[in-house]
Amino acid sequence: SDSLRTLCLDAGADDVGFVEIYRPAIADQYAEILAVFPPTKTLISFVCCMNRENVRTPARSIANLEFHANYDHADEVARNLVKAFAQIGVRALNPSVAFPMEMDRYPDKKAWVISHKPVAVEAGLGHIGIHRNVIHPKFGNFIALGTVLIDTEVTEYAHPIDYNPCIECKLCVAACPVGAIGADGSFSFSACYTHN
């Protein structure tokens, strides 16, 4: 697991954790994961940081560019990992990092191949705040999440951190440009998805 962690960081990830396929907390994803990559034994969850001030600016063009650039970077990290694994005889697959695309399955099934958020939580990369984003203990929610599936077990798996960095200050409620996050903790997926 140590050499695997180094490989991921060298590929451009800012933090990484490993989750075994049969972790109970991701049981609702087993079928989808194994449908796209049947030999999966380990999920590699990673984060790539965004430039904070670019996201915080009220200039939408700057923030939008930062989100897109970071999603592209995270996808490239995942692609590079899959290439590196191929060179050492490990089969791997990298689902898309960005917004859900399998809309032909929605609303009966999830619109994504893998839900990166619960995997990241299980990998010790943070917890989900009331705004429905993962909050990393060091980088906050200025991150993109990615997951790579591999056909190999690792020597040590991560576990969720023992606290939630979300202090429920409700700043996300006030800052959300479309009111998708309710003060009572409710969330409008369609408002968020349409905006993004």
Q: Give the predicted TM-score (pTM) of the model.
A: 0.90
Q: What is the pLDDT of residues 78-118, one digit of tens each?
A: 999 999 999 999 999 999 887 666 767 666 667 678 899 99
Contact predicate 128/163, CB 8 Å:
no
Q: Alpha-carbon distance 164 to 139, whole Å? A: 13
> Following CA atoms 98, 175, 165, 67 in sequence, which dihedral angle do they give, to the nearest 10 degrees?
20
Q: What is the pLDDT of residues 12-54, one digit of tens each?
A: 999 999 999 999 999 999 998 999 999 999 999 999 999 999 9
